[in-house]
Structure 1
Amino acid sequence: MVPKLILTVILLISVTVTTADYLRPQPRETLHFQWSPKPASYPQQVHISLAGDEYMRVTWVTDDQSSPSIVEYGTSPGRYSSVAQGESTSYSYLFYSSGKIHHSVIGPLEHSTVYFYRCGGQGPEFQLKTPPAQFPVTFAVAADLGQTGWTKSTLDHIDQCKYDVHLLPGDLSYADYMQHRWDTFGELVQPLASSRPWMVTEGNHEQETIPLLKDGFESFNARWKMPFEESGSSSNLYYSFEVAGIHVIMLGSYTDYDEQSDQYRWLKVDLSKVDRKKTPWLLVLFHVPWYNSNKAHQGEGDGMMAAMESLLYAASVDIVLAGHVHAYERSKRVNNGRSDPCGAVHITIGDGGNREGLAHGYVLILTNLHYKEPQPEWSIFREASFGHGELKIVNSTHAFWSWHRNDDDEPVRSDQVWITSLVNSGCVAEKRHELRNVLMAP
């Protein structure tokens, strides 16, 4: 037998290695943007997002504070049969003052239809395509984007993907208090974000809190308004929306999430409204992953997981998408730390192209006096490479997930799997009473 003292030392070494801070690789090159003068009334940083059934929110920025918040739109180029009046906001951050940030909701719109639109009565014409009303539906997924050469590569790959909606679980611009970086990010993503809805939730790089001076997420909330009001939420940091037969819940890793929090109470109400006959697929996104075998950010999601996993399990969530860790990892269906056929598939996809580099290291343990990087039983595939994911919900029972490494051509699938919905597996029916009890608990 190993003496107790030696065994204790080994365990302490193991714990120390497992929780030690990892060393980031060298940062990738940051993109440099040429100043391109435009008339003050011209729209900049144009992006769109879903704003309830058959509606779309168009967001843009102008330097002219008197520019109107109107969007003209129609189904033919240059011919606008409708006009929508919106709202505007702006903010100051230390020595920075934003332009006028416009939000205008257009609709009702037809599904699977191309619309041509112009913002503020000035500037170029844009076009968008609305998502379909029925399956199949394809989501592009990429988090932790930033503004580097790798970001450009990721966006180029996504541009080749035939997708309907972009999902981004946190860390958009990596502005990190430098507010002009929000402007350059908006210009960088405009070609994609103006043509397909981008649905985002916050990450740690969106916080930008200055104690006693600035609350968190001021820039993010002003620039990237999501349909929180339409989904009954009181905060832009968590909300839900539906596309065809999919209910998508965007949660906040950086706002209160315990059982007494507004977010938790809203989540229970939102889940109580989900009709799995109408929307058989249930997806959840947030920034900090719960299942992560990388040394990076190890254990940071444990608090939120302890508060919310049992609720999401009772609701039979199919897929959970997260970012934060700058690598890719896909799990089996899992719950409470181990494989469970009625649990969710957890996917970490924080590999969009951030400036901090990739998280190459995985958790070490000491076994027989040798360090190893064992892959947990629940982890199916993991790799520290930049890339993006594509989730094609084919029908009410089957979805196809693929991960595309930037080092390869976009059609090359570095990881892929067919996923069967929990409705089809019988798990939703089995947990109906469990869900009712959880939702009715005080």
Structure 2
Amino acid sequence: MRFSTSVVAVLTSALAINGVLAIPQVKNPVPQNILEPVQFRVAFAGAEAGKSAAVSWNTYGELSGAPTLRYGLDPDNLSKSASGESNTYATSTTWNHHVVLEGLEPGTVYYYRVEGADVSKTFHFKTALAPGTNKEFTFAAAIDLGVMGEYGLSTWVGEGAEGPLKPGEKNTIDSLLDDFDEYEFLLHPGDIAYSDYWLKEEIQGYLPNTTLEEGIYVYEALLNTYYQQMEGLTAYKQYMVSPGNHEANCNNGGTSDKKNNITYTADMCFEGQTNFTGLRNHFRMPAEESGGVGPMWYSFDYGLVHFVSINTETDFEDAPSSTGMRSGEFGYPGQQLDWLRADLANVDREKTPWVVVSGHRPWYIDAKKKNVCKDCQNAFEDILVDGNVDLVIMGHVHLYERNHPVAHGKVDPNGLNNPSAPWYIVNGAAGHYDGIDFAAGLDEEWIAYTMDGHYGWSSFTVHNCSHLTHEFVFSENNTRLDRQTLFKDRKCKLPIDGGSSVSISPSTSSIPGVESGSGFNGTVTKTESDKKSSVVGTATVSKPKPADETKTVIKPETSTVTETDCEKCHSETNGSLLESAAETAQTEKEQSKAATVVETVHETAVASTKPIVSISSLSPVATAPIASVGPSSVASASESESAAVFQPSTGSAGSTPALANVATLARISPMVMGVALVAVPAFAMQFV
């Protein structure tokens, strides 16, 4: 429906009195001063890690000159200045500003402020560790992360959607903020904001219906809401992104309105909302320095790691977003793959022994066939294996899955103890509206551990040249629900930078308190008959066989070690590991009491090692409120359900769907009108 004349009149009066209305729970998404800088974000930059950084921000109005920053080592004395460039595009309601700061020192805190901005808008960031710096660090990965609160993931959903938050449950942005001091930077390889869900949310009754022309501004409002919600992280920590399918165009290539038998294609999208335009203009990644292309593919170094970001959407044969989504190509035929081969071949493994690749679509994943990217596998896997990649991080499927190191479908016999195959972690569980997927229950040997039906993110700690630990972080209460350490038998030749050394026996591959190949699983469940993930006290296989053909196998995960003569590489880790050893051991001991995995297997089969599970409460529910919740007049999901599905309205006065529509109209109208009043003067001629 269109907005009524009375609604517009009321909004116009309110705007005249109070300026542009703010979206609930988001600080000044459209500020009264349209030149006020918002949506700050920092990223790595420069040909040499730690020597440069990129700072970006947005305004709702066009600057009269070049965007300029003041920066320095003292927040009260920002003695240096740097200028950059600005851009915008058709349908954008903001201008993007990018400034690269050069001549910096690695591993150093710098303060910055936009020229002329209020001193309260002074932020800071820490530059990257120089390549080869043998110092422990942690980085985070949150994939498939969208708007939180009333316009995205909240405590209720529309008709046909799943995965609302429980009342009082923290979302992933809250969780990342809670652990702010625990990681140095954030990777987000694809599906950012989910602004292209605007049409789906309207069809499902979560947002009120608009016209396609008005939908332009709903899309922009969702996008800008997300960027502002993330500012508490991205203004201080490098936010490294890459493309996913939800950045391709305004409705993910196609959205169906089954009730009205309408299928919308990418052809409905206006110029500026196709071809990854928003992503390519909003973010400044270190592509030029690394020979890549924009945020589509690039690489950078940090300490002992060489990070590579690939584009699983376009620029290879049969790429999924190249057909039907009006997107790509961004290089000459084969350019991305040529670049990737060359980039991996040029890694200095003396300085950066670890190679970590991130991309969006996985090919090793317990999912329906449509979500298994075989074309991606055909394009990339040989290159990753030949390039001796250690770790591959992916998302797209909205669950968590840890796989065994695997190459060409064959599990590496060494497991996590010095494998030659890449280790694949899939974690698309960060959360967004309708952001839940369930495992398909595939019987593949490379599946080590799958957890679905809940939200979370990944924490990776690079201890030294030979040990790297991954943890799945449950967003609801920041519990670490799965921990594994990858060991590579490397002879480190680098001196320790900071921290005290830890003496570890050369006859074991274990770091104190963090054993190679060890981990723990929560007391959780998932059954085929109940995809809503009811909580019980054990874990069961999703597809039990007849009783006369089965037996129950108790399988706590056991740790293993590999003997090695790599004495030096085991003595080069920070003292923090030793200090946390007792705490880690105690935590794992407590978790193990509730972590027995029960699986049903065929009598003659070898016991599998891939439990398919969902989470049970392992610790008290967090009391911190979520960013915002659904209207109080709309019933939320009960604790025994994972979704509240609202049936179509019968038209009766006071029905729940009718109340929901009134409530959503009341909360979306100020958002649409706010951005429209800013954008219409600039772009009105495009839509006449």
TM-score range, shorter chain: 0.7 to 0.9
Q: Which moved more, 1:251-260 or 1:156-165?
A: 251-260
Distance in 1 separating the partners of 2:334 and 2:435: 34
Displacement of 1:294: 2.4
Q: Tell me the alpha carbon deviations over residues 291-317 of structure 1, each in whole angstroms, 9 at most, x when there is no partner.
A: 101237432x11110122111101110
Query: Is 1:268–2:341 an aligned residue pair?
Result: yes
| Contact 2:404 2:447 (C-alpha < 8 Å) held by counterparts | yes
| Contact 1:251 1:286 (C-alpha < 8 Å) held by counterparts | yes
Residue 277 of structure 1, aligned match among 308, 331, 350: 350
Displacement of 1:33: 4.3
SS in 1 for 2:35: coil
Alignment-derived partner of residue 119 in structure 1:
114
Alignment-derived partner of residue 174 in structure 2:
156
The TM-score with structure 2 as length reference comes to: 0.53
Distance in 2 separating the partners of 1:159 and 1:255: 33
Residue 287 of structure 1, aligned match among 360, 363, 371: 360
Alignment-derived partner of residue 70 in structure 1:
68
| Contact 1:144 1:351 (C-alpha < 8 Å) held by counterparts | yes
Query: Is 1:208–2:249 an aligned residue pair?
Result: yes
Alignment-derived partner of residue 388 in structure 1:
457
Q: Tell me the alpha carbon deviations over residues 167-196 of structure 1, each in whole angstroms, 9 at most, x when there is no partner.
A: 111011111161222211110100100100
Displacement of 1:159: 2.1
5 Å-filtered alignment, 1:297-376, equals 297-299=370-372, 301-340=373-412, 341-360=419-438, 362-363=439-440, 373=441, 375-376=443-444
Alignment-derived partner of residue 429 in structure 1:
none
5 Å-filtered alignment, 1:181-196, equals 181-196=222-237
5 Å-filtered alignment, 1:168-183, equals 168-176=188-196, 178-183=219-224
Name the aligned partner's letter for residue 359 of structure 1: D
Q: Tell me the alpha carbon deviations over residues 37-72 of structure 1, each in whole angstroms, 9 at most, x when there is no partner.
A: 342222111101001222110010112312541111
Query: Is 1:413–2:480 an aligned residue pair?
Result: yes
Distance in 1 separating the partners of 2:410 and 2:489: 17
Displacement of 1:318: 0.5
Name the aligned partner's letter for residue 111 of structure 2: F
SS in 2 for 1:230: helix
Displacement of 1:374: 5.2
| Contact 1:342 1:422 (C-alpha < 8 Å) held by counterparts | no
Query: Is 1:57–2:54 an aligned residue pair?
Result: yes
SS in 2 for 1:356: coil
| Contact 2:284 2:294 (C-alpha < 8 Å) held by counterparts | no
Displacement of 1:225: 2.0
Query: Is 1:41–2:35 an aligned residue pair?
Result: yes
Distance in 1 separating the partners of 2:143 and 2:286: 19
SS in 1 for 2:300: strand
SS in 1 for 2:145: coil
| Contact 1:316 1:422 (C-alpha < 8 Å) held by counterparts | no
SS in 2 for 1:269: helix
Alignment-derived partner of residue 431 in structure 1:
none
Q: Tell me the alpha carbon deviations over residues 355-374 of structure 1, each in whole angstroms, 9 at most, x when there is no partner.
A: 122112x22xxxxxxxxx35
Distance in 2 separating the partners of 1:319 and 1:91: 36
Change (3 A) 1:49 1:402: same
Distance in 1 separating the partners of 2:86 and 2:27: 27
Distance in 1 separating the partners of 2:28 and 2:129: 38
Change (3 A) 1:34 1:66: closer
Distance in 1 separating the partners of 2:27 and 2:54: 28
Change (3 A) 1:35 1:213: closer
Query: Is 1:84–2:82 an aligned residue pair?
Result: yes
Bigger radius of gyration: 2
Q: Tell me the alpha carbon deviations over residues 257-311 of structure 1, each in whole angstroms, 9 at most, x when there is no partner.
A: 2495111111122122111111100011110011101237432x11110122111
Displacement of 1:235: 4.0
SS in 1 for 2:290: coil
SS in 2 for 1:166: strand
SS in 1 for 2:287: coil
| Contact 1:118 1:125 (C-alpha < 8 Å) held by counterparts | yes
SS in 2 for 1:229: helix
Displacement of 1:130: 2.2
SS in 1 for 2:338: helix
Displacement of 1:131: 3.1
Query: Is 1:142–2:142 an aligned residue pair?
Result: yes
Residue 400 of structure 1, aligned match among 448, 466, 469: 469
Query: Is 1:100–2:95 an aligned residue pair?
Result: yes
Which stretches in structure 2 are left out of the alignment for 5+ residues? 1-22, 155-169, 197-215, 251-265, 318-331, 413-418, 492-508, 510-561, 563-688
| Contact 2:241 2:295 (C-alpha < 8 Å) held by counterparts | no
| Contact 2:144 2:429 (C-alpha < 8 Å) held by counterparts | yes
The TM-score with structure 1 as length reference comes to: 0.81
Name the aligned partner's letter for residue 238 of structure 1: W
Distance in 1 separating the partners of 2:79 and 2:173: 32
Q: Tell me the alpha carbon deviations over residues 103-133 of structure 1, each in whole angstroms, 9 at most, x when there is no partner.
A: 0011322223222110243131112122333
| Contact 2:139 2:459 (C-alpha < 8 Å) held by counterparts | yes
Name the aligned partner's letter for residue 137 of structure 2: V
Change (3 A) 1:234 1:154: closer
SS in 1 for 2:195: coil
Distance in 1 separating the partners of 2:25 and 2:249: 22
Name the aligned partner's letter for residue 281 of structure 1: W
Alignment-derived partner of residue 366 in structure 1:
none
Change (3 A) 1:198 1:296: farther
Distance in 1 separating the partners of 2:436 and 2:410: 26
Q: Tell me the alpha carbon deviations over residues 79-112 of structure 1, each in whole angstroms, 9 at most, x when there is no partner.
A: 102111111111112xxx3322100011322223
Name the aligned partner's letter for residue 263 of structure 1: Q
Alignment-derived partner of residue 326 in structure 2:
none
SS in 1 for 2:384: helix
Distance in 2 separating the partners of 1:110 and 1:375: 50
Query: Is 1:198–2:239 an aligned residue pair?
Result: yes
Alpha-carbon RMSD:
2.4
SS in 2 for 1:78: coil
Which stretches in structure 1 are left out of the alignment for 5+ residues? 1-29, 364-372, 427-442
Displacement of 1:420: 1.5
Displacement of 1:339: 0.4
SS in 1 for 2:366: coil
Q: Tell me the alpha carbon deviations over residues 396-415 of structure 1, each in whole angstroms, 9 at most, x when there is no partner.
A: 111111011123x32x2100
Q: Which moved more, 1:235-244 or 1:373-382?
A: 373-382
Displacement of 1:254: 1.0
SS in 2 for 1:200: strand
Distance in 2 separating the partners of 1:142 and 1:297: 22
Name the aligned partner's letter for residue 339 of structure 1: V
Change (3 A) 1:187 1:280: same
| Contact 1:78 1:116 (C-alpha < 8 Å) held by counterparts | no
| Contact 1:283 1:317 (C-alpha < 8 Å) held by counterparts | yes
Distance in 2 separating the partners of 1:329 and 1:64: 43
The structure carrying a bigger strand percent of its residues is 1
Alignment-derived partner of residue 303 in structure 2:
244
State the identity as a percent. 31
Alignment-derived partner of residue 446 in structure 2:
378
Q: Which moved more, 1:337-346 or 1:191-200?
A: 337-346
Q: Tell me the alpha carbon deviations over residues 198-232 of structure 1, each in whole angstroms, 9 at most, x when there is no partner.
A: 11101000001654964410011000121111111
Distance in 1 separating the partners of 2:437 and 2:300: 31
SS in 1 for 2:112: strand
Distance in 2 separating the partners of 1:42 and 1:50: 24
